[in-house]
Structure 1
Amino acid sequence: MTGEPNLLGDHLRARRELLTPQQAGIPAAGLRRVPGLRREEVAMLAGISADYYLRLEQGRDRNPSRQVLESLARVLQLDDDTTAYLIGLAEAGPARRRRRRRRKETVPPSIVKFLAALSLPAFVEGRYLDVLAANPLAAALSPRLVAGANRLRDVFLDPAERALFPDWDRATQGLVAGFRQSVGTETDDPRFIELVGELSLASPRFRALWARHDVANRRGATVRFDHPLVGELVLNREKLVVSEAPGLVLAVYHPDPGTDAADKLALLGSAAATPTRSEQKENHA
């Protein structure tokens, strides 16, 4: 084999090792070195030969049919997002996966104006979860929500950012799953290699989550914050694709009407709009 990464095989192996015999509905007979399914068990349940499945995991066969992939997804109990990702790995085989020069991620001017006009915390993130633009209310929600920051680095490595999320375990799982989906098959990009390498060394939590191969579209969710100024704050988060710039997503936080979260967000907005003492001195200088 060449030095091509074995993305399909790595993904199949990771998901197989997460599924127990009990979950798959088969008896766990005999001594098992790992808690997950054996290769031959996956092959039997999927209706393919054990040798063929072994070739898929080892990367010696990288062109399975869609029918085979859907059967494996059913056996491995993959959700819709992960099934689509699995099929995408096979379709983006080595012959079709060519290294391309990455264009600089640029936020369209219309989106920059839209951010400034929004009276809700909002920011734009790129393919590698870099913050590319943010409005002042986003920075009031978290001082790390500013252009130039990276959501993965901050949530995993910055203690102040971690403290914002009482549900940090759930938040990090969703963050990594969204990151994997966003990157897709473009794992030879130096930016990706550097970021994953840094986080894998610095954060055992990231390393464990990355090894799971979870996949999820970057989508909306309900997020609970423990904010140092206003205390508990529950907000809805929407993630909207920026159609003019592939790979960019606009994230907006908003409260349910009539809740204390709406009042707390208004308080944060007032604090963000009030100039600090140093800013007042600069303005009068």
Structure 2
Amino acid sequence: MVRRYFLFFLFLVNGFYHSQQKAEDTPKVENFKYALKYHSDKNNPNFFLEERFILSIQGGKSLFSSIKNIEKDSILAVKFKELDLGGKVFTLKGVPRSKFTYYIVKENPEKPLVFYDDIGKDFFYYKEPMIDYSEWILNNEEKDIEGLKCQKATIDKYGRTFVAWFTKSIPIQDGPYKFSGLPGLIVEIYDINKDYHFTLIEYNSKDGKIVTLPKSKESKSLEVKKDKFVVSKKHYTDNLVERAKQAGLTIDENRERGIKKRLENQPSQLELEN
């Protein structure tokens, strides 16, 4: 009897040890939330909109995307699954909308970053080199941002000049959008015209859950060259009215003029050059 209890005790201890070891071996999840303030009308320089993004990191691999975009894809995945199970009603009611539909995956400087996005109902991705430390110009200027001591750096990239503030207090060489390569997390970054301005607003979400790329995008996306993707995406957006008509929708002249005017007044993209 004593031997039986002793063996049972060893079983419990062994199980606890391995579960603890497994937990310790699992890389920590670190989530950083950013607010993006951006121009929404190129004819009105004082009109901005704001959207929130998340940079989710585990084991050196990160994913960056709009929170609304992540919520949208999560809800749509459930709706499509219901249709597959025999559901007959499909509605977009309650589905968030976002102008920023991309996912950016970064792993390490030796590997290219991967940019996933949609064009209509089709999924695509392209690869490009991650930004290297040598591309940045570091400045001795410092400032405090929400209690974090930050240092200034600049870079000419994507047809713009960007100013970044990074902190060595968080030794993660990553940041919002495609930006990386500095010796600390990028807390704030903006182009000198301030058309696009990212600011860190929250460090480590309480749930501590990793955000991953939707399985549908990972498995169904087709790899293309970046320049081809950019041209195709712009063509798709610019021909919104024509595609709606081809789909059988009736659009009167006033509405057509309104749609085309909004398209003409859209601000320039973050990347002015490929």
Name the TM-score, length of structure 1 as normaliser.
Answer: 0.21
Name the TM-score, length of structure 2 as normaliser.
Answer: 0.22
Q: Which has the higher strand share?
A: 2
